[in-house]
Amino acid sequence: MVPISFEFYPPKTAEQHAQLDRTVAKLRDAGPDYVSVTFGAGGSTLSHTPETIQKLRTGGLDAAPHITCMGGSREEIRGLLKLYRALGAKRLVALRGDLPSGMVSAGELRYADELVRFIREETGDHFHVEVAAYPEMHPQARDSQADLRNFVGKVRAGANGAITQYFYNADAYFRFVDDVRKQGIDIPIVPGVMPIANFSQIRRFSDLCGAEIPRWITQRMLAYADDADSIRAFGAEVVGQLCRRLVDGGAPSLHFYTLNLSKPTLNVLSHLR
For ligand FAD, give the closer residue by CB, 201 or 270. Answer: 201
Closest Cα partner for 37 from 18, 26, 51? 51
In this chain, which of 138, 158, 197, 199 binds ligand FAD, going by CB under 6 A? 138
The yes-or-no answer on residue 7 being catalytic is yes
In this chain, which of 35, 80, 89, 95 binds ligand FAD, going by CB under 6 A? 95
133 touches 157 (CB < 8 A): no
15-29: b or e for each residue (b if 16 or more CB lie within 10 Å)?
eeeeebeebbeebee
- Segment lying near ligand FAD (by CB under 6 A), choices 22-30, 93-101, 177-185, 230-238: 93-101
Residue 254 exposed, middle or buried by CB count within 10 Å (0-12, 13-18, 19+) = buried
How many angstroms separate the Cα of 193 from the Cα of each of 82, 139, 165? 30, 18, 8
> CA 261, 266, 272, 273: dihedral to nearest 10 degrees?
160
**Binding of ligand FAD by 240 (CB under 6 A):** no
**Binding of ligand FAD by 108 (CB under 6 A):** no
Task: Quickly count helices (H) and strands (E) in the chain.
Answer: 10, 8
Report the C-alpha gap between 205 and 237 in whole angstroms: 20
**Binding of ligand FAD by 147 (CB under 6 A):** yes
**Binding of ligand FAD by 247 (CB under 6 A):** no
In the 8-state DSSP scheme, what is residue 95? E
Minimal distance, residue 66 CB to ligand FAD, in Å: 3
- Segment lying near ligand FAD (by CB under 6 A), choices 89-97, 174-182, 231-239, 260-268: 89-97
For ligand FAD, give the closer residue by CB, 7 or 197. Answer: 7
- Segment lying near ligand FAD (by CB under 6 A), choices 144-152, 167-175, 179-187, 212-220: 144-152
**Binding of ligand FAD by 16 (CB under 6 A):** no
**Binding of ligand FAD by 55 (CB under 6 A):** no
Closest Cα partner for 257 from 193, 165, 169, 206? 193
The size of the interface with ligand FAD (CB under 6 A), counted in residues, is 24
Residues of this chain that bind ligand FAD (CB under 6 A) = 38-39, 41, 66, 68, 93, 95-98, 111-113, 132, 138, 140-141, 146-147, 150, 154, 163, 165, 192
Please list the active-site residues: 7
